[in-house]
A and B are shown apart, each in its own frame.
Chain A
Amino acid sequence: MKPVRSNSSPLTGRCFPWFSIFFLLVCAFINQTLLGAQIQSPVDISLGDRALRFLQMRDYSVRIVAVGSILIGISCGMMGSFVVTRRLSLFGDTLSHAVLPGIAIGFLWVEAKDNLALLIGASMAGFLGVACVTLLKKFSKVRQDSALGLVLSGFYAIGICILTRIQKMEFGNQAGLDTYLFGQVSSLSESDLWGICISLALIVLFMTSNHRELLVSGFDLEFSKSMGLPSEAIQYAMWGLLAFCVISSLQVIGVILASALLIIPAASASLLAKRMSTYILVSALLGAIAGFVGAFLSFLGQRIPTGPLIVVVATTFFLLILFLRPSQGIIVNWLQSRRQSRQIEMENMLKAIYQVMEKQEFSEPAVRMEEVTRRRGVGKDSRAKEIESLIDSGYVSRSYEKNKFAKLPHEQFISLTPKGWENACRIVRNHRLWELYLTNEARYAADHVHEDAEKIEHVLGEETVRKIERLLSNPKKDPHGKLIPSLVDVRKGWLPEFPLNKNE
């Protein structure tokens, strides 16, 4: 789904930065007000109590966890919408793996789990990783997919090397760095929250102030260059933000799965949204929900890492959207196709009735049901059912007539109602007009056109019919020499004493 350029007024672009500064203040406010009792060891509390405790949000740390996971979901969701539309999903994955050595070195640097040091280390490693991929792609014959694989696994290996090394050093046992692999939301601290808030505010600031440039350069890079927009600068700024966003969320979701929170909400949003602005909103919303629910579940089961939980929740939402979405969802599609099949069946049956009547030269208003079903071929029972449904929808009326041989059951006769007649005429007309169009305009042989007309007749709209009629100067007969029911016949309804086209 391509993002469509939204028609925002030029004014909004200019006043949005104020909004994000406001947003930063709100974040600060949230942080300040998050005061409360420190969390006690929650291990021995039952599941229900824990759920209650989380939902009541009385604890300070619970609040931090909830707010943190929601904010991370939002920022990843927003960033993800750009990552996915620009087809950079796997860059996100590589980036998140590549920060591992940075985290390890940052830890080593201050010999403690200091957030700032980790952040700086991670940022540097992340940038180095992305630079490696870019350089490999640009200067060597290594293809992009291989380059991503190389950097991803190579950097990750360095990270593991250093981590295992750290564990053998004297201060290593207090590291708890393995929470960075899969994330552990309960280890989120206030300073982490600050990092998250800042990165979110930066993202919002960046997106709102460069909203149009982002849209244009994402949709058509060449065009945006030709317009003189600073595409390159925006590209690099986006990289920086992406790195920042991934790094600030590592505490919650972990290195290995960080890309999932970028990709999955955005991919779900791409199924729903048609405009970039709604896209970003939906994606952020889904991210927030996934973050919150994941954090909640992780809080319930103390030992389960948060990252996988968030991902599983996000995937569940994705699947729900995929199957239930209104436009192309599988269930909706199925209903639609059933409706269409019914419609086609009905139209074919009406046509068959018309043809039987035509064979009798419209002498009788009613036709034998036997004959109609025979004409439609295969499966007498199902055909009878189709007629029933035609009767139910008021296209056909039924009459019985006593059989000549009294012992046999009554013979069934059916006749078209005015509504049925109109539809039958329409479908036969479509069929024959199309055959004529194919033979006259597209130069097909007359024995070739029937099969195609069988399909087209169901989708030929009034407007197209008019066009074809004009093109063929209101024809009367189809290539096989049969009469084409005219507009007058369609409108007139069935009049038995005044058979079709008698005057011709």
Chain B
Amino acid sequence: MTLIPEYDFKKIFFEPWSTLELCIWNGQIILMGILVCWTCGIVGSFIVVRRMALMGDAISHGILPGLALAFICSGSMALGPMWIGSCVAGITCSFCIEWLRFQTPIKEDAALGLVFTSFFATGVLMLGMEAENAHIDPECILYGEIGFTPLAPDLKLGSLRLGNQALWTMGGVFLSVAIAAVVFYRQILISSFDPILARSMGTPVRQVHLGLMLSLSLATVASLEAVGVILVVAMFVFPAVTASFFFDRLSSIVFFSLPLGLAYSIGGFHLAHWFDCSLAASMVVFAGLLFIPCCFLAPNSGILWKITSLRNVGR
């Protein structure tokens, strides 16, 4: 067995879809992946244009103690308490960063690095201690296992069985994030681009910021079991940055993250099938593979064009 298995088109692309059961099973996984990519892509677009990509990183790490606490208190991995816990931890995290930045001589980057590593470490310790007497899987939260999606119990409404609960939850999160993004698009746009003007027009800039942080926590928590806290950063950053090579309007970037999410999920799934490795990680790897040619070849802003034009100028 070698690192790179033989490329077998049929095995990679047909085998997962050969029987009906496999189709349903894998379809659920891919759907989950798509929903995760879409949710994170929308939130991530706003985060990236606000130059807060690393804040996203920090918060996705920083929510861990909140998750652990919520788990210890409620004893379940249900989304509700997890989200509340993570929101509390996320907001505390960003508050600590701001406080250190403005009230102490510590610089922004150091404050960021300091707070989120401390939070993360606390969370890991709490989970580690809890793991001995409960069946929470710290590995799952840290790395995620999207492959377990079809194992989730069905959502029941009375006697009606509506299908996979995890998918419904994720779908609900995606819908709420998407609706919020459409409804408050104007407010987010103006308070990101020109906060002064925004405030003069009565847009609550701070609340918009807070709302973004909350939806960031929500997106992170919801996609936690699928991709884990570290890879979720990639889901935030990759779609937005890739899209920004092609589009120069925020709304187009947000929209373009949807087809990108589709591609990541499907591409990553088959990549994982080829290499027989982690699904979530290979989705990110696929995103990276898509990013590289875009970075070089994108119209106007691609590196290749830039280098050639530089050379022309040199002549």
Are B110 and A89 in contact (CB-based, < 8 A)?
A: yes
Are B284 and A162 in contact (CB-based, < 8 A)?
A: no
User: B290 → chain A, closest Cβ, in Å?
Assistant: 11
Are A259 and B118 in contact (CB-based, < 8 A)?
A: no
* B110-128 near A? 1/0 per residue, CB < 8 Å: 1111100110111011001
* A261-277 near B? 1/0 per residue, CB < 8 Å: 01110110011000000
* A432-448 near B? 1/0 per residue, CB < 8 Å: 00000000000000000
Are A150 and B231 in contact (CB-based, < 8 A)?
A: no
Are B53 and A312 in contact (CB-based, < 8 A)?
A: no
Are A270 and B54 in contact (CB-based, < 8 A)?
A: no
Are A161 and B275 in contact (CB-based, < 8 A)?
A: yes
User: A183 → chain B, closest Cβ, in Å?
Assistant: 11
- Find residues 62-91 in chain B having any chain A CB closer than 8 Å to their own CB: none
In the assembled complex, B52 has its CB within 8 A of some CB on chain A:
yes
User: B226 → chain A, closest Cβ, in Å?
Assistant: 14
- Find residues 154-181 in chain B having any chain A CB closer than 8 Å to their own CB: none
Q: Which residues of A contact B230 (CB under 8 A)?
A: 97, 153, 156, 256
Q: Which residues of A contact B52 (CB under 8 A)?
A: 145
Residues A90 and B117 in contact in the complex (CB < 8 Å), given A154-B234, A309-B125: no
In the assembled complex, A128 has its CB within 8 A of some CB on chain B:
no
Are B277 and A315 in contact (CB-based, < 8 A)?
A: no
Q: In the docked arrangement, what's the CA distance between A307 and B120, Å?
A: 11
Q: Which residues of A contact B111 (CB under 8 A)?
A: 267
* B269-295 near A? 1/0 per residue, CB < 8 Å: 000000111101111110110010001
In the assembled complex, A421 has its CB within 8 A of some CB on chain B:
no
User: A305 → chain B, closest Cβ, in Å?
Assistant: 7
User: B214 → chain A, closest Cβ, in Å?
Assistant: 20
Give which listed residue, B132, B231, B275, contacts A165 with CB less than 8 A: B275
User: A493 → chain B, closest Cβ, in Å?
Assistant: 45
In the assembled complex, B12 has its CB within 8 A of some CB on chain A:
no
In the assembled complex, B31 has its CB within 8 A of some CB on chain A:
no
User: A445 → chain B, closest Cβ, in Å?
Assistant: 31
User: B146 → chain A, closest Cβ, in Å?
Assistant: 12
Are A170 and B1 in contact (CB-based, < 8 A)?
A: yes
- Find residues 225-256 in chain B having any chain A CB closer than 8 Å to their own CB: 230-231, 233-234, 236-238, 240-241, 244-245
Beta-carbon nearest neighbor of B57 in chain A: A149
Are B125 and A160 in contact (CB-based, < 8 A)?
A: no
* A123-146 near B? 1/0 per residue, CB < 8 Å: 000000000000010011111011
Q: In the docked arrangement, what's the CA distance between A307 and B142, Å?
A: 15
Are B278 and A160 in contact (CB-based, < 8 A)?
A: yes
Q: Which residues of B contact A267 (CB under 8 A)?
A: 106, 110-111, 114
In the assembled complex, B201 has its CB within 8 A of some CB on chain A:
no
Q: Which residues of A contact B238 (CB under 8 A)?
A: 150, 153-154
Are B113 and A90 in contact (CB-based, < 8 A)?
A: yes
Residues A257 and B143 in contact in the complex (CB < 8 Å), given A146-B53, A161-B282: no
In this complex, how many residues of chain A approach chain B with their Cβ under 8 Å: the count is: 62
In the assembled complex, A35 has its CB within 8 A of some CB on chain B:
no
In this complex, how many residues of chain B approach chain A with their Cβ under 8 Å: the count is: 62
In the assembled complex, A192 has its CB within 8 A of some CB on chain B:
no
Beta-carbon nearest neighbor of B228 in chain A: A160
* B2-23 near A? 1/0 per residue, CB < 8 Å: 0100000000000000000000
- Find residues 82-99 in chain A having any chain B CB closer than 8 Å to their own CB: 84, 87-90, 92-93, 97
In the assembled complex, B258 has its CB within 8 A of some CB on chain A:
no
Q: Which residues of A contact B236 (CB under 8 A)?
A: 149
In the assembled complex, A182 has its CB within 8 A of some CB on chain B:
yes
In the assembled complex, A449 has its CB within 8 A of some CB on chain B:
no
In the assembled complex, B206 has its CB within 8 A of some CB on chain A:
no
Are B285 and A84 in contact (CB-based, < 8 A)?
A: no
- Find residues 28-71 in chain B having any chain A CB closer than 8 Å to their own CB: 48, 51-54, 56-57
Q: In the docked arrangement, what's the CA distance between A157 and B287, Å?
A: 10
Are A259 and B113 in contact (CB-based, < 8 A)?
A: yes
In the assembled complex, A168 has its CB within 8 A of some CB on chain B:
yes
Q: Which residues of B contact A262 (CB under 8 A)?
A: 113
In the assembled complex, A260 has its CB within 8 A of some CB on chain B:
yes
In the assembled complex, A408 has its CB within 8 A of some CB on chain B:
no
Q: In the docked arrangement, what's the CA distance between A282 and B104, Å?
A: 18
In the assembled complex, A322 has its CB within 8 A of some CB on chain B:
yes
Q: Which residues of A contact B137 (CB under 8 A)?
A: none
User: A171 → chain B, closest Cβ, in Å?
Assistant: 9
Are A160 and B231 in contact (CB-based, < 8 A)?
A: yes
Are A153 and B3 in contact (CB-based, < 8 A)?
A: no
Are B3 and A260 in contact (CB-based, < 8 A)?
A: no
Q: In the docked arrangement, what's the CA distance between A97 and B234, Å?
A: 13
Q: Which residues of A contact B186 (CB under 8 A)?
A: none
Interface centre among A145, A157, A259, A308 (most CB of B within 10 A): A157
Are B128 and A161 in contact (CB-based, < 8 A)?
A: no
Beta-carbon nearest neighbor of A167 in chain B: B277
Are A160 and B143 in contact (CB-based, < 8 A)?
A: yes
Q: In the docked arrangement, what's the CA distance between A292 and B94, Å?
A: 30
In the assembled complex, B98 has its CB within 8 A of some CB on chain A:
no
User: B296 → chain A, closest Cβ, in Å?
Assistant: 9
Residues A90 and B275 in contact in the complex (CB < 8 Å), given A146-B48, A153-B237, A308-B122: no
Q: Which residues of A contact B128 (CB under 8 A)?
A: 303-305, 308
Residues A161 and B285 in contact in the complex (CB < 8 Å), given A257-B121, A264-B117, A304-B125: yes
Beta-carbon nearest neighbor of B282 in chain A: A161
Give which listed residue, B125, B234, B301, contacts A157 with CB less than 8 A: B234
Q: In the docked arrangement, what's the CA distance between A157 and B291, Å?
A: 14
Cβ contacts A to B, 5 pairs, < 8 Å:
A140-B306, A142-B295, A153-B237, A159-B281, A263-B117
A residues sitting closer than 8 Å to B (CB atoms) are 1, 84, 87-90, 92-93, 97, 108, 136, 139-143, 145-146, 148-150, 152-154, 156-165, 168-170, 181-182, 256-257, 259-260, 262-264, 266-267, 270-271, 303-305, 307-309, 311-312, 315, 318, 322, 328
6 nearest A-B pairs in the assembled complex, by CB-CB distance: A153-B234, A157-B284, A260-B117, A311-B121, A308-B121, A160-B281
